[in-house]
Amino acid sequence: MDILDIIGPIMVGPSSSHTAGAVRIGLVARKLLGSTPVRAELYLHGSFAATGRGHGTDMALIAGLLGFAPDDERIPQSFEYAKKAGLEFRFDTIQLRDAHPNSVLIKAYDAGGHSIEVVGASIGGGRIEIREFAGMKLRFSADGPTLIVQNRDFPGSVADVSYILSRLNINIATFQVTRNSRGGTAVMVIECDAPIEPDVIERIESMPGIIRAVGLNP
């Protein structure tokens, strides 16, 4: 247990699960996209769908996509800021299978035609878990430095990425790998003990078979 478990996060209310957690999910989605989205589709599940709008979940998710922090006083006006930023968005409800009650599926698109799909859950006290990315099941919190690598699934990819991190003196805390099919596309989720700097991303993306790498730093 840490201090967040006792007093909760510093945030703009009213709810840590429906507001602070939702902002963080939006922020992670923005970082995974790699730029400011110009369009977003947000599908609310469970409690998010039933009571989220009354608790400001919709405004919080958009705030995160805009890059606002959970304690940003602009969160209640995020729709207005989205309009100024050229971000078009729409909300709908969805029934996600085996999902946490406070879950959302986000589809975000940037001006260059890139897109991402993320399922995130707000699990209480402002904490989140990303439970799906690029159509693949996984689980990470983004509480600490996290490296996300999309790659073509062939032998040696995990060893190559691990080698680069070791050469850069970055210790691995946890390592997950999932794929959509044998020989298809895979995703590595690597929680690290040091920030993921731009040179780390550059080195990894220069490797054969790497589609994209993203560093998530708190």
- 3-class SS string, the chain: CCHHHHHCCCCCCCCHHHHHHHHHHHHHHHHHHCCCCCEEEEEEEEHHHHHCCCCCHHHHHHHHHCCCCCCCCCHHHHHHHHHHHCCEEEEEECCCCCCCCEEEEEEEECCCCCEEEEEEEEEECCEEEEEEECCEEEEECCCCCEEEEEEECCCCHHHHHHHHHHHCCCCEEEEEEEECCCCCEEEEEEEECCCCCHHHHHHHHCCCCEEEEEEECC
What per-residue confidence (pLDDT) applies to 52? Answer: 75
pLDDT at 16 over 80: no
What per-residue confidence (pLDDT) applies to 54? Answer: 75
> Residue range 12-22: average pLDDT?
70
pLDDT at 1 over 80: no
What the chain holds in terms of domains, given with CATH numbers, is 3-140 (3.30.1330.90), 146-216 (3.30.70.260)
Percent with pLDDT over 90 in the chain: 87
pLDDT at 10 over 50: no
Least confident range of 15-29, 146-160, 176-190:
15-29
**Residues 112-160 pLDDT 10s:** 999 999 999 999 989 999 999 999 999 999 999 999 999 999 999 999 9
**Residues 47-102 pLDDT 10s:** 999 987 778 999 999 999 999 999 999 999 999 999 999 999 999 999 999 999 99
pLDDT at 104 over 90: yes
- Tell me which of 7 and 148 has the higher pLDDT: 148
User: Would you state the structure tokens that stand for residue 92, as one six-digit string?
Assistant: 């709908």
> Residue range 156-173: average pLDDT?
96
